[in-house]
Structure 1
Amino acid sequence: MKPAGRTLADWGLFWLLSVVWASAYMLTRMAVDKGHADAGLPPEWVISGRLTIGAVALCCVMVATRQHLPPLSDRRRWTAILGMAIVGSVIPFFLITIAQETVNSSLAALYTAAVPIFVAIGAHFLFSDERLSAGSVVGVMVGFGGVALLFGPEAMKGLSSASTLAQIMLVGATMAYAASSLIARGAPLMRAIPFATAFVSVAAVVSWPLALMVDRESVNAGWDNWLAVVGLGIGPTALAQALYMVLIARTSATFLSLTGYAIPVVAAVMGFLFFGEMQSWLSLVAFAMILGGVWLARQGGGGRKAV
C-alpha cells in the first residue's frame, strides 16, 4: 500500500489536473456548438481530433525525454494500455461528446462526482485491501441516490427524451472513468509518459474509423470549433493523461478519484463565466448527496481511508 501522507506537490498536481480536466467540458461544448444542430463539429471528429493531437503531443514529449514504449512482447503492459485506451478514452470521450450536444457542460461535469462511488464498488471486488464494510454500502447507496436525483423527476418520467438519453450516456462515461482508474491501479509498473503516450495513441487509431464514417459535406464548422478541438488535444487529453499517470504512480486510484469532487465545481464556474450556465437547486442537492455518499463509503471502508 502507498503511504497516506500527501505532499504539497501531490496536491498541486491534483488541482492542476482537476482544472485541465474540467476545461474539457467547456471546450467540448465549443467544439460541438451545443444548441445549433446545423453547426459545429460532429462528435466523431471531435473525439478523433483530440486523441490524435494528444497522441502527437505525447509522442513529442516522450521522444524529447528519451523514453520508450514497452516492447510489443510485453503482453501484460499492452493489455493494460489497450484497456486504458478503450475504457479510459474512446468510450467516455464518445459518450460525453454526444451528450454535450444537448446538455450543459456543468451538468455533464457534475456526473464525474460519482466516479469514486463506482471505484469503491469495483475496488471491493478487485483489491483485497479495499473491501466495502456495512458503512461503505450505506454510502454507496446514498451516492446512487444522488445520481438518480440528478436525472430529476421529469427525466425519470420520459426516458426517451434526448436530454435523458444524454444523461444516461454521462452515467456510462462515469462508469468507464471509474473502470479506467481500476485498470491503471492494477496495471504493471510503467513510466508515466510512455504509458500515457501508448494508450492515447492506441485510442486515436481506434477512433479513426469513426471519423471516416462522417459525411464531410454535411459538416458546418468554424475556426472556433476547430480551435476547441486543438485545446482538447493539448490540454485535457495530452497534458491531463500525463498528469494522471504521474499522480497514479505517486499516489493511488482512490486519491485520483477525488478529482470527481473538484471537477464539477471548476466546470460549474467555467460554465457560468463563459456560457451563463446555472444549475437547479435539485442538482446541488444531488451533488451534496453524492459527496456525502462518497464520504460515508470512505469512512466505512478501511482500505480507502489512506488517500
Structure 2
Amino acid sequence: MKRAWLYFWLVSIIWGSSFLFMRVGVEELPAAQMAFTRVGIAAICMNIVLLLTRRRYPTNRRTLLLLLLLGMVNTGLPFTLLAWGEQTVESGMTGVLQAITPVFAVIIAHFAFADERITPMKILGIAISFGGILVLTSRDLASGSGFGADLSGEIAILVASLCYGIGTNFSRKMLRERAPDTIVVAAVTMTGASLITLVLMFALPLLGDRAPVAYTSLSSDVLQIALVLGFVNTFIAYLMFYNVIAGLGAARASMVTYVIPVISVALGALFLQELIDAQLLIGSALILVGLVLVNGWLRPLLQRRRFASKQPRSAVGE
C-alpha cells in the first residue's frame, strides 16, 4: 500500500511535469514530431518488456486492431493536440484544461453504457467545470484582442481531452468483453500511437504546420526533454500507474486528475515564470469542484460525516 501511494505521487509529479517539458520542446520540435518521439520511445521500451517477459501480441485480429485504434485515439492524437496547443498556451493552463477529461468521459458514458446515467449532481458538476473553462478562456481573450483573440490552442487541448474521454470509454468497453494483459495493451497501444503520429508528422505540414526537423539540429536541452518525455513521462510512468491501480484500485488511482493540474501550474510558474492570477485560480477551482461532483465523490464524504455525527461522543476530555 505504501509503495502504491509512493507511485501515485511520483506519477502525479511526472505527468504534471509533462506540460512543462512539452511547452519548452515545441519551441524547436513540431507538435506531431514531439508526440511521435515521445510515444515512439515508449513503444520501443514497452515492446522490449513484452519480449523479455515472453508475452505476445493478441492473436485475435479484431482485438489487435481495436488496441491499435485505442492507441491512436487515446494516446497519439491527444499527445499531438496537446503539443500543438502548447505552442500558444502556457503549460499550467494546459494542465488545468486537460483535467476536464473525466467530464467528457461521463458525458460519453451516458450514451455508451446503460448503467452510466447522468444524474442531476453530475449535470451540476459538468456545468461548473465548463464554467471554469469559460473563466480560463476569458482570461486569454482579455489578454488578446477581444473576441478576435486566437483560442485555437485552447480548443486543441479541449479536443485532446475529448479524445481521452472517448478512449476511456472505448477501453472500458473492450475490458468488459475481454481482459488482455496490461503490458500487452500498453505495447500495442503505444505502437498504434506511433503509427498515427508518424502519419501526422508528415501530413500536417501539407496543411501549413511546421515540417519535421533533423534531431541533430536540436539543442541538447530539447533533445534531453524529448528523451525524458518518452522514457520517464510515458514508459516508466505508465508502468507505475498500473501498479497504482493494482495497489489502490481504479477509483483512488483516478485521483491523479486532481493533483496533475496543481503540479503543472506550480512548475510553470517556477521554471517559466507563468502568471498565476485570480482567473487562473478561480477557473481551476471550478473545474476541480466540478470533477468532484461528476465523479460522485461528494456523496461518500457527506455520508461519512453524517455517520460520524450520529455516533455517541466519548466522555474523555469532557
- Coarse TM-score class (shorter-chain normalised): 0.7 to 0.9
Partner of 2:262: 265
What percentage of aligned pairs have identical amino acids? 26
Cα deviation for residue 258 of structure 1 reads 2.8
- Rounded Cα–Cα distance in structure 2 between residues aligned with 1:78 and 1:174: 24
Distance 1:125 1:210, change over 3 A: closer
Residue type of the alignment partner of 2:76: V
Q: What's 1:295 paired with?
A: 292
Matching of residues 2-151 of structure 1 within 5 Å: 7-33=1-27, 40-71=28-59, 73-75=60-62, 77-151=63-137
Specify which of 185, 194, 201 is matched with residue 184 of structure 2. 194
Taking the aligned partners of 1:119 and 1:67, their CA distance within structure 2 comes to: 31
Q: Deviations over 1:266-300 (max 9, x none)?
A: 11222222222222211110111111112223338
Match of 1:280 among 273, 277, 280: 277
Contact 1:83 1:183 in 2 (8 A): no
Preserved contact between residue 115 and residue 257 of structure 1 (Cα < 8 Å): no
Conserved 8 A contact 2:55-2:184: yes
C-alpha RMSD of the superposition: 2.9
What is the deviation of 1:189? 0.8
1:220/1:280 CA distance change after superposition, 3 Å: farther
In structure 2, give the amino acid aligned to 1:190: P
Aligned to 2:305: none
Cα 1:149/1:160, change in 2 over 3 Å = same
Write out aligned runs for 1:207-246 (5 A).
207-212=197-202, 214=211, 216=213, 221-245=218-242
Equivalent pair of 1:58/1:196 in contact (CA under 8 Å): yes
**Alpha-carbon distance in 2 for matches of 1:302, 1:31:** 42
- How many Å separate the matches in 2 of 1:13 and 1:128? 34
| Partner Cα separation in structure 2 for residue 125 and residue 227 of structure 1 | 43
Return the alpha-carbon distance in structure 2 between the equivalents of residues 125 and 66 of structure 1. 39
Deviation (angstroms), 1:249: 6.3
Q: C-alpha distance in 1, partners of 2:299/2:105?
A: 14
CA distance in 1, matches of 2:299, 2:117: 7
TM-score of the pair, normalised by structure 1: 0.83
Cα pair distance change 1:265/1:204, threshold 3 Å: same
Distance 2:247 2:181 in 1: 11
How far apart are the structure 1 equivalents of 2:104 and 2:251? Answer: 11
Which letter maps to 1:284?
L
User: Between Structure 1 and Structure 2, how many residues are aligned?
Assistant: 289
Q: Shift of the alpha carbon at 1:244?
A: 4.2
Q: Aligned partner of 2:108: which letter?
A: G
Aligned partners of 1:50 and 1:230 also within 8 Å: yes
Are the counterparts in 1 of residues 12 and 256 from structure 2 also a CA contact under 8 Å? yes
Residue 175 of structure 1 is aligned with which of 162, 165, 170?
Answer: 162
1:172 CA drift (Å): 0.8
| Inter-partner Cα distance in structure 2 for 1:255 and 1:125 | 25
